[in-house]
Amino acid sequence: MAFPGLQHVAITVTDLERSTRWYTALFGAEPVLDEDEQDGRFHHTVFVLEGGQLFGLHTHQGRESGDAFDERRTGLDHVGFAVGSVAELEQWQARLDELGVEHGGVKRAGYGVGLSFRDPDNIALELFTGPE
């Protein structure tokens, strides 16, 4: 039996309103869900991405830290989004420039080509395609 692919990713953010605005601009789409869960102990906002995958933003009551994300700590390193070609990566680079999102430019490696950037909580994101 093959292991299934990812269906959704949910990240915890420090300021849900700020992150919702930022991801709405990045995705070019409004969230499909924005609600409290578990008696108000956490709130989530969910976007539907291409292919039906979901991307969620969470805030939790009583969270212990508002520290910025750091991929050097145990846990998530980054979230990668698939694109179909280097040309598409270059289009995304122009889109990030339009949005004022700092990025590392299109970088080539033996295993593929990527474009890395960060969200308002410093969470590392990447647009990626296979090798040229």
pLDDT tens digits, 16-27: 999 999 999 999
Which residues, including other chains, have CB under 8 Å from residue 48's CB and lie 6 or more apart? Answer: 29, 32, 54
Which residues, including other chains, have CB under 8 Å from residue 47's CB and lie 6 or more apart? Answer: 23, 24, 27, 29, 31, 32, 54, 55, 56
State the DSSP H helix or E strand holding residue 94, giving kind and residue range, or none if neither: helix 86-99
- Domain limit, last residue, from 12, 36, 61: 61
Which residues, including other chains, have CB under 8 Å from residue 127's CB and lie 6 or more apart? Answer: 80, 81, 83, 89, 92, 114, 115
SS3 state at 53: coil
**Model pLDDT, residue 3:** 78
**Model pLDDT, residue 20:** 96
In this predicted model, what pLDDT tens digit does every residue of 33-91 receive, in sequence order? 988 876 777 788 999 999 999 999 988 876 666 677 777 887 889 999 999 999 999 99
- Rounded CA-CA distance 118/26 in Å is 11
What percentage of the chain has pLDDT greater than the value 70? Answer: 95
Q: Are 130 and 86 in the same domain?
A: yes
Q: Look at residue 99 and tell me whether its pLDDT is greater than 90.
A: yes
| Amino acid identity, position 125 | L
Averaged pLDDT, 81-108: 97
Q: Are 37 and 83 in the same domain?
A: no
- Rounded CA-CA distance 94/75 in Å is 30
Q: Are 57 and 91 in the same domain?
A: no
Q: Total domain count for the chain?
A: 2
Does residue 66 lie in a domain region? no
**What sign does the dihedral 112-114-119-122 (CA atoms) show?**
positive
Domain with residue 101: its CATH number is: 3.10.180.10
In this predicted model, what pLDDT tens digit does every residue of 113-126 receive, in sequence order? 999 999 999 999 99
- Domain limit, last residue, from 61, 87, 103: 61
Q: Where is pLDDT greater, at 69 or 9?
A: 9
Q: Are 82 and 31 in the same domain?
A: no
Q: Are 17 and 50 in the same domain?
A: yes
Domain containing 56: what range? 1-61
